[in-house]
């Protein structure tokens, strides 16, 4: 549904897009009353693909009434570790994203939309800028779109580079000219003092298809509560890393890793799979026979937890990976990307990183291994999301990942302490790596 057509030659141009049925969903949406449009999307059961899985129509209905102005903001950050879906959608088929923007804007009666592209994503920004120009020229943006009487202006905004700038409220803060930091409270979901709606690229790009083919067609795949597909971003030690669009609940994680992604690289053995981007779940080889269904998604040893499924990032680690090294790579990212405003996340991320590095270097003893887990638990116990101490989910996210790694690989952490450093120091492969954060002072 989402990746359909992306291999058509020149589909990134408006001409090819229109030749392949492009903007027909928008045309339908513009011909409908907003109320009918919301009802149609509600009937489809479409949920947000940013990791929260909130029904899109709920989000629309939740916007405060009445408002003179509303803004639609599109999150095109692809910020989570292991996530590379939205940039591909934009690069390959930008007009489908814009069409989704028009449909959502029509539904909530927004006349200005901001496309917030992560500052580092130069190529997608170039493509989407060109697509916006083409759409204006073809009157699919601007005044009186396609004679419908509906006006919509789209601005492409290169956002601050921090991962945390992609958090919904931080994105709005940054767009409004402030520091991109998560906010809480009544004004946190506003932009320039007006209500603002934030959607992921990967959510909006479903809308044209839903409008064209109808809600029922969308519901034909996926589960009752979670209809449609999910694009999984498989990376790490697999033969065929890449994007895989699969029906929700249709396959198991083992099928995704072994069949679709070709199994572990070089025939080595699997060590762990990290699923879900920021809201990660760490799974061991024997735990992969789980359906890729957010509703049934369970934390090993705990059972289903709302929202734990995350956003479709799947990172595969083989048996040459040092888990402590992996934890360091992840924590380097989190410590670098924390906005720093709340103490648990600011101090906790760098503290855990510091302790892990001592462990890797052989400077830490068994007490410090206990301390790492204890620091993580102070940010929020893994199984009690309602007891998180950080301001936004970012702090508990890395704390949960660390606790997951401990639950699955405690012996390996302890071995580092007793062996006076990494026992595989001389033979190991690089673990999961994320790009070093770009240090932008904002």
Partner 1 sequence: MAEIEGEKLAQITWDGRVLEVDDGGNLLTGALEAGIFVPHLCFHPALTTPAQCRLCAIEVREDDGESWRLTTACDARARQGMVVRTESETVRQARAAALQFQLARHPLECPSCDKTGECELQEFSFAYGGEAPYVLPEKSTAEVRDLGDHVAIDPGKCIHCTRCVRFCKEVTGTEELSMFDRGDRLEVATFPGSRLDNRLSGNTVDLCPAGALIDKRFRLQPAWRLRGVDSICPGCSTGCNIRVDVADEQVRRLKPRVNMDVNDYWMCDDGRHGWHYIHSPERLARPLVQGEERDLPGSGDVVASWEEACSALHAAFTECRSQGQQIGVILGGQMTNEEAYLLISLAQAWDSEWISLRDSVATEGDITFPNTGFTIRGDKAANGRGIQDVAAGLGENLRPLDQLLDAIQREVVGAAFVVGGGPGVRPGDAELRALGALGDRLAVLDIMQDELAALARVVLPGCSFAEKMGTMTNVDGRTQHLRMAVEPAPGCLSDIEVLKRVAASFEAPAAALGEAEAIFAELGRRVDASNAFSGLTYDQLPDSGTMARPATQAYGGGWSSLLQRRGFLPVEDHNKQPPIAGHRLADSD
Binding site for partner 1 (CB under 8 A): 162, 164, 179, 183-186, 335-344, 346-351, 354, 371, 378-379, 386-391, 439, 441-442
Closer residue to partner 1 (CB): 7 or 386: 386
CB atoms inside a 10 Å sphere around CB 428: 13
Q: How far is the CB of 258 from partner 1 (least distance, A)?
A: 38
Q: How far is the CB of 353 from partner 1 (least distance, A)?
A: 9
Q: How far is the CB of 351 from partner 1 (least distance, A)?
A: 6
Q: How far is the CB of 393 from partner 1 (least distance, A)?
A: 13
Closer residue to partner 1 (CB): 116 or 352: 352
Q: How far is the CB of 171 from partner 1 (least distance, A)?
A: 15
Closer residue to partner 1 (CB): 103 or 376: 376
Closer residue to partner 1 (CB): 286 or 439: 439
Closer residue to partner 1 (CB): 130 or 179: 179
Q: How far is the CB of 381 from partner 1 (least distance, A)?
A: 9
Closer residue to partner 1 (CB): 260 or 442: 442
């Amino acid at each position: 549904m989402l990746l359909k057509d992306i291999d058509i030659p020149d589909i990134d141009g408006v001409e090819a897009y229109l030749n392949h049925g492009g903007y027909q969903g928008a045309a339908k949406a513009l011909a409908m009353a907003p109320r009918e449009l919301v009802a149609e999307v509600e009937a489809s059961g479409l949920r947000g693909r940013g990791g929260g899985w909130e029904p899109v129509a709920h989000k629309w209905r939740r916007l405060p009434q009445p408002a003179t102005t509303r803004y639609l903001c599109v999150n095109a950050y692809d910020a989570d570790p292991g996530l590379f879906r939205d940039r591909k959608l934009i690069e390959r088929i930008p007009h489908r994203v814009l069409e989704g923007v028009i449909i959502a804007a029509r539904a909530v009666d927004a006349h200005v939309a901001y496309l917030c592209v992560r500052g580092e994503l130069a190529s997608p920004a170039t493509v989407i800028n060109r697509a916006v120009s083409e759409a204006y020229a073809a009157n699919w943006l601007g005044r009186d779109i396609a004679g419908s009487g509906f006006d919509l202006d789209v601005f492409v905004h290169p956002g601050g580079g921090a991962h945390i700038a992609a958090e919904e409220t931080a994105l709005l803060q940054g767009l409004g000219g402030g520091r991109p930091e998560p906010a809480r409270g009544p004004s946190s979901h506003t932009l320039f003092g007006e209500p603002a709606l934030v959607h992921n690229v990967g959510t909006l790009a479903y809308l044209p298809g839903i409008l064209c083919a109808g809600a029922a067609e969308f519901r034909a795949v996926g589960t009752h509560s979670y209809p449609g597909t999910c694009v999984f971003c498989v990376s790490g030690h697999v033969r065929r890393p890449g994007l895989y669009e699969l029906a929700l609940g249709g396959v198991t994680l083992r099928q995704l890793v072994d069949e679709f992604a070709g199994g572990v690289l070089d025939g080595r053995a699997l060590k762990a799979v990290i699923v879900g981007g920021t809201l990660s779940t760490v799974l061991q080889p024997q735990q992969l026979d789980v359906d890729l269904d957010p509703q049934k998604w369970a934390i090993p040893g705990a059972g289903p937890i709302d929202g734990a499924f995350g956003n479709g990032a799947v990172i595969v680690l083989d048996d040459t990976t040092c888990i402590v090294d992996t934890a360091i790579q992840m924590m380097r990212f989190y410590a670098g990307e924390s906005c720093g405003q709340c103490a648990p996340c600011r101090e906790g991320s760098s503290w855990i990183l510091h302790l892990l590095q001592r462990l890797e270097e052989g400077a830490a003893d068994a007490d410090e291994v206990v301390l790492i887990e204890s620091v993580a638990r102070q940010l929020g116990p893994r199984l009690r999301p309602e007891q998180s101490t950080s301001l936004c989910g970012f702090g508990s996210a890395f704390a949960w990942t660390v606790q997951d790694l401990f639950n699955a690989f405690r012996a390996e952490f302890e071995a580092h302490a007793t062996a006076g450093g990494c026992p595989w120091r001389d033979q190991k492969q690089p673990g999961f790596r994320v790009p070093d954060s770009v240090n932008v002072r904002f």
